[in-house]
Structure 1
Amino acid sequence: KCIYCTSFLPQDSLLLCIIQCLFHSYTGLRPKETVSFCFPPFSSFRRQDVLTLTPWLAPIVWEGTFNSEILDNAYKPLNLTIGVTAFAIGKYTRFVGRFLESAEKHFMKGYRVNYYIFTNDPQAIPRVQLQPSRRLSIVPIKKYSHWQEISMRRMEAINRHIAEMSHREVNYLFCLDIDMVFYNPWGAETLGELVAAIHPGYYKVPRSQFPYERRSFSAAFIPDGQGDFYYGGAVFGGLISQVYEFTRTCHMTILADKANGIMAAWQEESHLNRHFASHKPSKLLSPEYLWDDTKPKPPEVHLIRFASVKKNYREIRD
């Protein structure tokens, strides 16, 4: 069987050998049959208008840099189950229905999916018709008085749930914000060992303008001149084992700050960026996968796949 590699790297025999050697670590799974790797015509996948490769050779996923049919032919025989966590605390339960309905149309079509909705109000979660290969689990969680505390507790809750349950149920896990909607396909092109999403507000600005935590006494501190991209906290994921380690580390740095009476500039997002500054993600999702509905779509964003919905933050966080 021949699997075609997407054209994130130039065609080169040495790179082909590297990809063959790293296939198992890149996917985290061993195929059920022997595979060989071939390169398709690269002109059909190349994007010249955007950055498609990081300095550490991690792909940046944009429309036009992959072939969904080829990827599905590689991944679907592995019988994967993809997990999704989302938090619906307080008034955020109003977003669950649209989130799930849009996910059923666009998220990982043709794959088994487990949705894990963390909420303090299980009765407020609407019943949404799911495909036969999908299931919804409600995870009860405490409501805290301040939204910042809820945000800071998310890493802890995900980490505990992985340890207690989801490590037995899913191969990959994506952790997403509930106040968002899928508009276009989100598929196997997003699967990787550890996946981060580039924040839509900062992908065109210089690093000096990234809102990193700049106070040196915070565990989320990133010095001037360090860091590569500014990542959004609304989307991250990867192999279940990698997400476990990632959330554990972020939870520990959050606890370290809390013990010293510190709250990072952007709560868990600051700690997420601190981790990715020193532990590079293996795949980056372009702003197509984390768009802001209040922004106009620029020419380089061919498709908006997943975007936040317009809302009154003051009202829903009250």
Structure 2
Amino acid sequence: MKREILFRLDTPYRQPFAIEGFRFGSGEKACAIVGGIRGNEVQQMYVCARLVKAFSALEEQGALLPGNEILVIPCVNRFSMNVGSRFWPMDQTDINRMFPGYDQGETTQRIAAALFEAVKGYRYGIHFASFYLPGDFVPHVRIMDTGYQTSSLGSLFGLPYVVMRTPKPIDTTTLNYNWQIWESNAFSLYTRETDRIDEASAGQAVSAVLRYLSRVGVLKYTCHSGFMPSVINENDLATVLTPAGGIFRARKAPGDEVSYGEVIGEILDPFTADRLAPVTATTSGLVFFAMDKPLVLEHEVAFKLIRRLHA
């Protein structure tokens, strides 16, 4: 294992900003893995830290197949993490909306450019990402449908679902999209949590990466086969909106089965705790995403559901 500084930026107000990486093996650029780009992505950083530990042990055992290099970057934005800000503290810009970056631009553009320079050219790119809404997911792999993607590779992770996303204009500045444009097979992995550590889904994510790399010929690693995933399109997910503002209480969690019209949450009056409105399932199926937020406005996304085929 080689631990190195991939990028350093002097600052006038704190210690230098740095991005650290961990390299395993040598030879062809096989796989780059990126964790927390945003300051609240603690779970994403933790999963990468566990991967660093796993790869170190596998390298000592001679389980990395010759001619392959793996790069792991657990945390890109330690400044934001130190002060508890999801985005860059000085101007609240999102580094994951700055790719491929510009090395003569604003600070977050320079950070994105340096990160992308370090991770481009790898055969596979894995980003542990988070959603723009606070909440929990069923663990899954997400792939941008750019025309460069290979959806069948996503099934090799052995997670329950592979989600295909049709890119919107805002997606063209993300790491995943630009990885694909520069001819890497790019995947975003989502676990249950973001700003809290969930050991079970972290372990599932670590196993998924090791399973994938063993199946594509980078590692010599024996693991259980995982799930036979379902491939779904993000546009086919049913959205359940909050019918009123107030205190949100979820009755269902990711992975739970629901029926059409079933009460899966409720909105409470913040001053009396009386129920203002039920939150009901718009289709029969399975909870894919559940909001984790105590106070909501009307018409916020409370749940996303995977429809049953016969529903």
TM bracket (short chain): under 0.3
TM-score in terms of structure 2 length: 0.27
Which of the two has higher C-alpha Rg?
Answer: 2
Higher strand proportion: 2
